[in-house]
Chain A
Amino acid sequence: MNITDTNKKNTLSWLWLLALTVISTYVNLFLSFFNMQKSLFISIVLFIVFLKGQQIIDVFMELKQAPKLWRRLLMAYVILLPIIIGLIYLV
Chain B
Amino acid sequence: MNSAVNVATENIVVERDLTKTKDTAMETKRLPGDLAMWFFILAELTVFAIFFIGFAVAEQLNTEMFTQGKAKLHQISGLINTLTLITSSYFVALALHKMHQGFGNQSARLLLVAKLIACVYIGVKIWEYLSLFEQGIDIETNTFFTLYFMITFFHLMHVLLGMVILAFIALKTAKNEYSVSNISGFESGASYWHMVDMLWIILFPLIYII
Interface of A toward B, CB cutoff 8 Å:
3, 6-7, 10-11, 13-14, 17-18, 21-22, 24-25, 28, 41-42, 45-46, 48-49, 52-53, 56-57, 59-63, 65-68, 70, 73-74, 77-78, 81-82, 84-85, 88-89
**Is the pair A61, B101 in contact by a Cβ cutoff of 8 Å?**
no
* Range for the number of chain B residues in contact with chain A: 35 or more
Complex Cα spacing A10 to B95, Å: 11
B117 to chain A, nearest CB (A): 12
Query: B49 touches which one: A13, A52, A63, A77 (CB < 8 A)?
Result: A77
Complex Cα spacing A23 to B201, Å: 13
Interface of B toward A, CB cutoff 8 Å:
28-32, 38, 42, 45, 49, 52-53, 56-57, 59-60, 75, 79, 82-83, 86-87, 89-90, 92-94, 97, 100-101, 191, 194-195, 197-198, 201-202, 204-206, 209-210
B13 to chain A, nearest CB (A): 27
Chain B residue contacts of A7, Cβ below 8 A: 94, 97
Chain A residue contacts of B197, Cβ below 8 A: 56, 60
A64 to chain B, nearest CB (A): 10
